[in-house]
A and B are shown apart, each in its own frame.
Chain A
Amino acid sequence: MKLSNRTVSGVPVVDIEGDVDMYTSPGLREQLARFTSKQQKRIVVNLEGVEFMDSSGIATLVQAYKEAQPFNGEVCLASPAGNVLRVLKLSNLTSLFPVFDSVDEAVNS
């Protein structure tokens, strides 16, 4: 998995390329924690390049959500693949994360 981040119109965006699994989730966790600790109101996780996400990836997103709660921040998901959405739905977690078709939409909504 490759992680990179950028800022689009002032909103931090994490681009993920590859699988989010038990091996790679810790890296994502670190990156997201960096943003939540700065109390970023909106964080966009770009999942366009992610075909597979396991429970640890889901848990990592949930943890970011928890950390953003105290300052009313949101963790937005951009272009999650069918697979990833399915896993979120299975765990009944879709309501936690606003989902957008693209990074632009997530940033500008």
Chain B
Amino acid sequence: MKTRFSGGSSVSEKAQLGVEVVRADHISKAFDGRMVLSDVSLSVRKGETLVVMGRSGSGKTTCLRILMGQETADTGQVLLFDQNIATLKKKDLNGIRRRFGVVFQSGALLNSLNVFENVALPLRKLTELDRAVIEIVVKLKLEQVGLRGFEYLMPAQLSGGMRKRVGIARALALDPEIIFYDEPTSGLDPVMTAVISQLIREISSSLGVASVVVTHDMESAFSVADQMLMLYLGEVVARGTPEEIRGTDEELVRQFVDGKAEGPIPLRQATTDLLEDLLGG
């Protein structure tokens, strides 16, 4: 029986129901010989939200892109819905792409299209639904993110928070089973950050989707996460439930969670020696 809409709201219910929909085993990735991800493993079940946190440059976006099949890992494998995305045929990969939604950091809206058309885009491109039905689906999605009534605004007329919400509505258009969010609250004021965090929680609990949220915003991270994973220089330095992460005495994690400048995370983290850099050929 399909249970795509029966995602539970309590943690114990989730633990019972959730089938694993995202899995990464020991993925590593280097760019130009420099390791940006080392031996990262993770797993997300239906109805569950995994937050990947870490400072900028720690490899979060790269990790997300690998999970979505936009980038390939040098070693290790990624399974979406139990299928290895690296070895899938194009047709099967397209089938899987319809089953997940992506909320890009920038919103990635098309500036020449109004809000309505931006959300309608995946429906027009990937389904045979007719105009009338698409119009209703788009309105349902805009209602979900609190933007019904703003259909005819252009992206340039939107606030940062509205853009993010349009991006979320578009990611929801095809009723995905997984949503990948890249820094969904970056650049937003505290109130709008709380609104987006609440939206992420609602989408998870009412629709039962699995979510992977990449963020460096601690407040938002703790408010949406069922599981957390912290990356530091491409390595997993901590993982656990929000309670476990909050309670850890691991210094690297403490410094990040508390947002302090003093601690093991150095102010400067160039891997090469300055003098060598200045003087070397």
Interface residues of A (CB under 8 A from B): 19, 21-23, 25-26, 29, 51-52, 54-56, 58-60, 62-63, 66, 83, 86-87, 90-91
- With a cutoff of 8 Å between Cβ atoms, the chain B residues found around residue A51 in the complex are 1-2
CB pair A56–B2 under 8 Å, yes or no, is no
- With a cutoff of 8 Å between Cβ atoms, the chain B residues found around residue A62 in the complex are 136
Stretch at the interface among B40-48, B124-132, B184-192, B217-225: B124-132
CB within 8 Å of A: which of B10-29? none
Q: Complex: how many Å from CA A12 to CA B56?
A: 60
- Our pick among B3, B4, B129 for the contact of A56 (Cβ within 8 Å) is B129
Number of residues on chain B facing chain A (CB within 8 A): 25
CB-CB nearest in chain B for A90:
B206
CB pair B130–A29 under 8 Å, yes or no, is yes
- With a cutoff of 8 Å between Cβ atoms, the chain A residues found around residue B132 in the complex are 63, 66
- Our pick among A25, A59, A86 for the contact of B140 (Cβ within 8 Å) is A59
Task: Judge whether B137 is part of the interface by a CB distance below 8 angstroms.
Answer: yes
> Can you report 22 residue pairs joining A to B where beta carbons are below 8 Å apart?
A19-B2, A22-B129, A22-B174, A22-B175, A26-B128, A26-B129, A26-B133, A29-B130, A29-B133, A51-B2, A52-B4, A54-B4, A59-B129, A62-B136, A63-B132, A63-B133, A63-B136, A83-B5, A90-B206, A90-B207, A91-B140, A91-B143
CB pair A86–B6 under 8 Å, yes or no, is yes
Task: Judge whether B141 is part of the interface by a CB distance below 8 angstroms.
Answer: yes
CB pair A54–B6 under 8 Å, yes or no, is no
8 smallest beta-carbon distances between A and B, as pairs: A59-B136, A52-B2, A54-B175, A59-B137, A22-B127, A59-B133, A26-B128, A62-B136
